[in-house]
Structure 1
Amino acid sequence: MTIGPAKLEDMEGISRLYKALNTDMSRLQPEMFRPAGEDGGFIRSVLESERDDLLLAREDGRVLGLALVQDKDTPPYSAFIQRRYTYLMDLVVAPGHRGRGIGRALLEAVKGWAESRNAEFIELGVLAQNEDAIRLYESLGFKDSRKIMQLDL
């Protein structure tokens, strides 16, 4: 398995992974998400961005996993300490390939990507019901820093 940046010719594999991710999210929070593919416009915008990247795990020419990373700065408010960080927007491994260390390898690649951009930390959001992902993140040293709460009306 290799991990490297995505290219336009990876669109089909990336779209397939986003469909799996959106299906999983709709199963965990059906009131918020629905199974859907990802349009090519969004993926193209990431590939063309100076501050975003899609890292892909590949094996035998197949895309098995992805991590969408963003280079960010804390907001320019006086109460915030100015810091550069990496936001992990999406992490997904193809359903038939989970449990093989692909997610862990992608997270190591995310760490390398963040370090190469002089990020001070990596931040991510995860659905509260996604216990497998939470266990993976915690096993790699991620910890709670904030809690997002919702009141349905």
Structure 2
Amino acid sequence: MLNYRLERAGLEDVEGLAPLFDEYRSYYGQTSNLEAAREFLQARLHNEESVIFVAAAGEGADKRIYGMAQLYPTFSSITIQPEWILNDLFVTEEQRGHGLGSLLLEGVRGFAQGTGAKGLTLITLTHNTGAQRLYEAQGYIRDDTFFTYHLYFNSNS
């Protein structure tokens, strides 16, 4: 078994992270586009618009990224506090069941708490019961109070 560690990703990690992010997008029905994935990640990190944590193993040229969690900042007008949206959580299929999802969730929780945030919010597919079990085991509570509405402006939704 590999020795996994949690790291906050930087611009130097984009090349190793892009294939995983592209796989994540494909999982959600998007056409594979490694270059677009690379450019998107690079822009988010360069502009400090998101925070990405990775579950990695190996060092230097042998470093491989097996999981990722991407957070976006937002704010609550009601409680007048910052909060984080856990927009992307993904672990490669061959590494699922090894605790990487928990490692990533614990890492983003610690990060968010350290920023003084109100909390973390995420959404998942209704049929993704494996992810739902993981989230609930980590203390996330399913919202039964609010409905989510979307207004999309293009076909890439």
TM-score scaled to structure 1, two decimals? 0.81
Check 1:8–1:88 CA distance in 2 against 1; reply closer, same or farther (3 A cut).
Answer: same
Give the aligned partner of residue 108 of structure 2: 110
SS of residue matched to 1:141:
coil
Determine the structure 1 residue equivalent to 2:142: 144
Q: Tell me: CA distance 1:13–1:114, structure 2 relative to 1, closer, same or farther (3 Å).
A: same
Q: For the Cα contact (< 8 Å) 1:54–1:68, is it kept in 2?
A: yes
- Determine the structure 1 residue equivalent to 2:154: none
CA distance in 2, matches of 1:12, 1:50: 17
Letter aligned with residue 81 of structure 1: T
Asked if 1:131 corresponds to 2:143, the answer is: no
| TM-score w.r.t. length of structure 2 | 0.79
Deviation at 1:35, TM superposition (A): 4.5
Task: Pick closer, same or farther for the CA change 1:5–1:45 going to 2, 3 Å.
Answer: same
Asked whether the 8 Å contact 2:21–2:37 carries over to 1, the reply is: no
Change (3 A) 1:36 1:129: farther
Q: 1:69 aligns with which of 64, 68, 71?
A: 71
User: How big is the alpha-carbon RMSD for the aligned residues of Structure 1 and Structure 2?
Assistant: 1.9
Does the CA contact (< 8 Å) of 1:25 and 1:34 recur in 2?
no
Residue in 1 that maps onto 2:14: 11
Letter in 1 for 2:53: L
> Are the counterparts in 2 of residues 20 and 95 from structure 1 also a CA contact under 8 Å?
no
Deviation, 1:149, is 5.8
1:93 deviates by 0.6
2:20 corresponds to which letter in structure 1? L
Figure out how many residues of one structure are paired with residues of the other and give that number. Answer: 140
Distance 1:88 1:147 in 2: 18
Segment drifting more, 33-42 vs 132-141: 33-42
AA aligned to 1:52 is: S
Q: Which amino acid aligns with 1:16?
A: P
- Quote the residue 1:56 is aligned against: 54
Per-residue deviation, residues 62-109 of structure 1 (Å, max 9, x unmatched): 1111110122212x4xxx332211110101111110110001000000
Which amino acid is 1:58 matched to? A
Q: Which one has more relative contact order, counting CA pairs under 8 Å at least 6 apart?
A: 1
CA distance in structure 1 between the aligned counterparts of 2:149 and 2:128, rounded to whole angstroms: 16
- Residues 71 and 117 in structure 1, CA contact (< 8 A), matched pair in contact too: no
1:25 correspondence with 2:53: no
